[in-house]
Each structure stands twice: as structure tokens, then as C-alpha cells.
Structure 1
Amino acid sequence: MSSHAIEISLLGRTYSIACPPGQETALQHVAQKLEKQLTSLKARTNNLSREEIAIMAALNIGYELLEEQQKNQDYNRQMDEKIGLLQSTLEDALVERSTKED
């Protein structure tokens, strides 16, 4: 599969970004979210350069990603515990059933 370029706009500048076929909507959605964050940062901190705004946005997005990864790990840990409890309960029930049949 070859990529083709789509255009996105960030802080008034247009960028041509390579995008795999079928992923255009996802890339545009991400670009819109990034634009909102960049615009918000720019409005709150007028004295920052484009580069500094981009770094701040990257740090914010990185932090959000880290939080989501932690939530996902916590969820997976909880599910592993519940599955373990369910397996143990089933094993106990099977042992109990087999002793009753004897």
C-alpha cells in the first residue's frame, strides 16, 4: 500500500502529510484536535514561539497518552484478577462436584 499526501492546517500554516489510504479521516481528526490544543496554548501564552507551543502541545499529549496507558494497565490488571477468581471458583465447583459424584 502506498501513501498519498493530504493537507492539514496548524496555526495558519498548511502542511502536506503522507497518509496511508483509508486513514485520511483519522489523520484529519488528529490534526483538528492538535489545532485546538495549539490554538489554546497560543491564546494562553502569547510570548511563546511556534516551536515552544509545539513542544508544550507534545508534552500535554504525551501526558494524556501516559494517563490512558496507565488506566489501560489498571483495567487489564483488574480483569486478570477477576478472571483468576472466576477460574478458581470454577475449579472449586468442579472439584466439589466430582467429590459429590464419588
Structure 2
Amino acid sequence: MSEIIKQLDISIMGREFRVACPESEEATLLQAVQLLDTRMHEIRNNGKVIGLEKIAIMAALNMTHEFLQTKVPGGIDIGSFQRRIDSMNSTVDAVLQEQTELF
């Protein structure tokens, strides 16, 4: 049975957007909208960045940096873990690229 997809009207920095999300993820999406809107308003209010697109990019960079600095219980550094995964993917891609025929 497939999950119901809802269309939600959201507002970020006074601009209206319609987004689709699974019904079970609506609350999380709304939290994300609130967090992003707050961060973008903070950046705009600091007065150093002008333009909605630049404010959105700065907010995305700041939030991504914070995410990559996060350590989860057990001492796992998400940024380090992601870099290791990326390195492994690159190694696998390089080896597979050399292979013209596997069998």
C-alpha cells in the first residue's frame, strides 16, 4: 500500500511555495520550514547578505556545516563518516571504470 502524498502550502521569507511530501513526514517538513525561515531571517537581519537567493545559499551552507559538525551518540562524527563514504565510493568507481568486462 502506497503512502498518501500531500500538497502543502508553505511560506519562507514571505514567499509562498507548494511542496509535496508523504503524509507521515508533514510534521518534520513543517519543522524544517520553520528552521529555514528563522535562519534566513537571522541572516537578513544581520544586514551583511542581500538578496533572497544569497540568503538561502548562506542558510543552506550554515545548516550543512552544522550538520557535518554533529556527533551522534557513540562518538560518530557525521562529517568524517560522510567523507569516508565519499572516498570509498570514489575508489569503487575508479576500480569499476577500469573494468570493461567483469566475467
The TM-score bracket by the shorter chain reads 0.5 to 0.7
Q: Kindly indicate which of the two structures has a greater share of residues assigned to strand.
A: 2
CA RMSD of aligned residues (A): 2.0
TM-score (norm 1): 0.65
CA distance change for structure 1 residues 74 and 66 in 2, over 3 Å: closer, same or farther?
farther
**What is the aligned partner in structure 1 of residue 66 from structure 2?**
64
- Alpha-carbon distance between aligned partners in 2 of 1:23 and 1:56, rounded to the nearest angstrom: 25
Q: Where has structure 1 moved over 4 Å in runs of 4 or more?
A: none
Q: List gaps (5 residues or longer) in structure 1.
A: 78-102
Larger radius of gyration: 1
Q: Kindly indicate which of the two structures has a greater share of residues assigned to helix.
A: 1
TM-score (norm 2): 0.65
* Structure with greater contact order relative to length (CA < 8 Å, sep ≥ 6): 1
Identity of aligned residues (%): 31
Q: List gaps (5 residues or longer) in structure 2.
A: 78-103
